[in-house]
Amino acid sequence: MVAYTPLIIVLFPLLGFLFLGLIGSRIKNEKLIGLIGSGTVGLSFLVALGLFFQMTGLHPEERKHVVELFTWISAFTGTASSFSVSVAYQIDQLSILMTLIVTGVGFLIHVYSIGYMHGDPGFWRFFTYMNLFIFAMLNLVLADNFLLMFLGWEGVGLCSYLLIGFWYEKKFTGDAAKKAFIVNRVGDFGFLLGMFLIFVNFQSLNFDAVFGRAAVLNPNSTMVWITLLLFIGATGKSAQIPLYVWLPDAMAGPTPVSALIHAATMVTAGVYMVARCSILFALAPATLEVVAIIGALTAIFAASIGLVQNDIKKVLAYSTISQLGYMFLAMGVAAFTAGIFHLMTHAFFKALLFLGSGAVIHGMHDEQDIQKMGGLKKYLPTTYRTFVIGAIAIAGIPPFAGFFSKDEILWKTFSGEYGSVLLWVVGALGAGLTAFYMFRLVSLTFEGDERFDHHHVHPHEAPKTMTVPLQVLAFLSIVGGFVGIPASLFGGNTIEHWLEPVFAPANDKLRLTSHSVEWTEYLLMFISVGIAVAAIYAARTVYLKRAELAERWKNKYASLYKVLLNKYFVDEVYDKTIVNPTVKISEGFLWKGVDVSVIDGAVNGSAKLVALAAQGIRRIQTGVMQQYATVFVGGIVLIMIWLILK
């Protein structure tokens, strides 16, 4: 294994960011900018792929490798709690898998962006930010300590702000960027407190040191607090209840940004962090229960909102929130491998769906309302075929990728020691809703009657730079799940064996046992696929064969439809209970009261006091010698009187 390979992987996107950031504005050739921006990420992927193949030839115990570059922070206090953190990168089975996802899917999104962002005046700036995004995410997944992970954690938060608000001249994009940034700061505060507690209890922030000491501990209340605080950070970054509200608004940025955030980078950070800290969560079964409940509730909550949304990207945004809920459900029932497996397959089909929606928007001249589309499959044949593949994959139809990862989560939820039948029911219902809203989206966008204005809109297929990444992602959405075929379907579940050494300490602590193949698993598999097929049939019936049903149901259940269309009015509740009071307090009390009256008043008042004193004193500075002599003599007289009286 090459000693500094992890550094090389991280270095390429950093060099791309620096080069484009410094001289990108002077380069007028879009192809050159696109080549540099995409090429740096592609090179990182190739290096990571080579490292992966090298690791497969090693014994599992030899696959872990740490590269320490330099000491970052060192505070020598002379006690056992001296603080030292290095910039060091860790390669193991989990981090290399995440690196391949980030760089591989990230590379395809970069290539797609060359066509999508063509002609934009900020073309060079876009690729600068995108390279920085990949660099930050690689630091997050390759870090060997909590502080470096947090640096990457904050880095992707910064890049999301820059990219969501990329078209900064539009007010709504700036508002969406600020919303994402501020909501994430709430979660990040929890992450910081969790890190403080980790250092206090383990005297280190290094993963090996912390996890090694945790492996010999028993469950305790301190671990519950640590893991709950870390999970608060995860709910912000990975958009779970109650901090999910920023993600739908993040659609304000360019579509490739949405694909990058939703598929390969930022929103997966929370899931990865929980997986990386699996041994800590194993010491807090109460937290695992909270994670599972929040994940299940988020999955069904977001899926229900997606049923009636009409913005093509908003449907996919709520789909992402829902799918992230499945990943946390897996983490909560201690199915850590299943959660990472779904993270991987989701990266394939969700990137495909977002980029496919971008091709639709591109071909429809920036139209995003699916009610103004229809019949587009004959105008955008490649986009249509690949989008349908993505929809089938996310719906969980075999043998597409989403089936294997989703079914693994549902099976572990039903059969695992930390799962339950109720959680399985919620998960299965969420899967049905997912299949329904995805094929509602397909039906209204690509099939049925053409509802757009032919005089102003002329749909057309996207260029090759956009369609080729779609075809690659479609292929991965078909075959990507084969690495996780379970034993019940006569597979070897390769990904489970690959990740087993990473999660072994947590599984040992939780005393998890493997389940033999039972008829129950086949039955549950049949039920989940049946639910998905029934939901797909229902969606196509309602929106294609009997279109009047949709209007009839909308009128019959008008109140429910209004609640779902307005996303349960959560944003309005937050505005009324948190945002508006905070603004009023900030303006009325902190600004006008404290800042203007107290702080400015004290500063301005001291200046006025000095001015008044100066006005009195300067009257004795007249320049007349007789007055100075009089004052001088008067002073001597007063001093003599004081001495006599004393």
pLDDT in tens, 424-457: 999 999 999 999 999 999 999 999 888 988 778 8
Question: How many Å is the Cα radius of gyration of the chain?
Answer: 30
Judge whether 324 and 451 are in contact, CB under 8 Å: no
pTM: 0.91
For all residues of the chain together, what is the average pLDDT?
92
> Which residue type sits at 360?
V
Per-residue pLDDT at 31 exceeds 60: yes
Residue 617: its pLDDT value, please?
74
**Residue 274 corresponds to which tokens in the numbers above?**
């929980």
Q: What is the pLDDT of residues 605-627, one digit of tens each?
A: 888 888 888 777 777 677 777 77
**What are the CA-CA distances from residue 27 to residues 121, 124, 163 (Å)?**
12, 8, 21
Q: Report how far residue 337's alpha carbon sits from residue 96's, in angstroms, rounded to the nearest whole number.
A: 14
User: What is residue 599's predicted lDDT score, i.e. its pLDDT?
Assistant: 87
State percent of the chain over pLDDT 70. Answer: 97
Burial class (CB in 10 A: 0-12, 13-18, 19+), 205: buried
pLDDT tens sequence across 542-568: 999 888 888 888 888 999 999 999 999
pLDDT at residue 81 in the model: 60
| Predicted local confidence at residue 608, as pLDDT | 87
Assess whether pLDDT exceeds 70 at residue 79: no
pLDDT tens sequence across 35-44: 999 999 999 9
User: In degrees rounded to 5, what are phi and psi of residue 418?
Assistant: -105, 10
Q: What gap in Å lies between CA 436 and CA 30, rounded to an integer?
A: 40
CB burial class (10 A; 0-12, 13-18, 19+) of residue 474? buried
- Alpha carbon of 234 to those of 231, 305, 414, 485: distances in Å? 5, 22, 24, 28
Q: Cβ contacts of residue 350 below 8 Å, gap of 6+? A: 259, 262, 263, 316, 319, 320, 323, 390, 394
Over residues 470-481, the mean pLDDT reads 97
H/E stretch holding 86 reads strand 83-91
How far is the C-alpha of 88 from the C-alpha of 206, rounded, in Å?
Answer: 10
Q: Above 90 in pLDDT, residue 326?
A: yes
Residues 243-272 have a mean pLDDT of: 92
Judged by average pLDDT, the poorest of 246-250, 259-263, 382-386, 495-499 is 259-263
Name the pLDDT band for 516 (thresholds 50, 70, 90).
low
User: Strand pairing partners for 65?
Assistant: 91
- Of 115-119, 333-337, 393-397, 508-512, the range with the lowest mean pLDDT is 508-512
Beta bridge partners of 68: 88
Residue 387 has pLDDT above 70, yes or no: yes
Distance between CA atoms of 319 and 433, rounded to whole angstroms? 10
